[in-house]
Amino acid sequence: MDGRLGLGKLGENIATQYLKRKGYKIVKRNYRKKWGELDVVALAPDKTLVLVEVKTVSGINPKITGEDQMTVSKAIKFKRTAGIYANGDGKLLVRDAGWRMDLITVSVDERRARVRHYRNV
């Protein structure tokens, strides 16, 4: 596993723990299809299906933020994949509470990790 993949996995682990602490139930991680991937699929405390994209950066002053990593093309792909999942594999989970797409950014350095959670991106 190279450094970038390791950093991404670390960020996903931190984001998953963050969601669990907030009362979310993790349904699936790394849902992959040929058209795209969802990093985390979770149920919010209110039973809303939440499809999460995680972006991770490292260093004290990273040159690019996790927010900057969510480019227009990545956002379009995320939206398409989330819609396909919510209306297919996740359809039973959506019945009463609906679904949304969230972005979680994780910034890690030697001492700590900072998590930012953006709902309904």
What's the burial of 116, exposed, middle or buried (CB within 10 Å: 0-12/13-18/19+)? Answer: middle
Residue 56 is predicted with a pLDDT of 95
Residue 5 is predicted with a pLDDT of 63
Domain of 100: which CATH number? Answer: 3.40.1350.10
The count of domains in the chain is 1
List, run by run, the mean pLDDT of 10-residue segments along the chain (121 residues). Answer: 71 97 96 91 94 92 88 94 88 80 94 94 92
102: containing domain = 3-118
Residue 15 is predicted with a pLDDT of 98
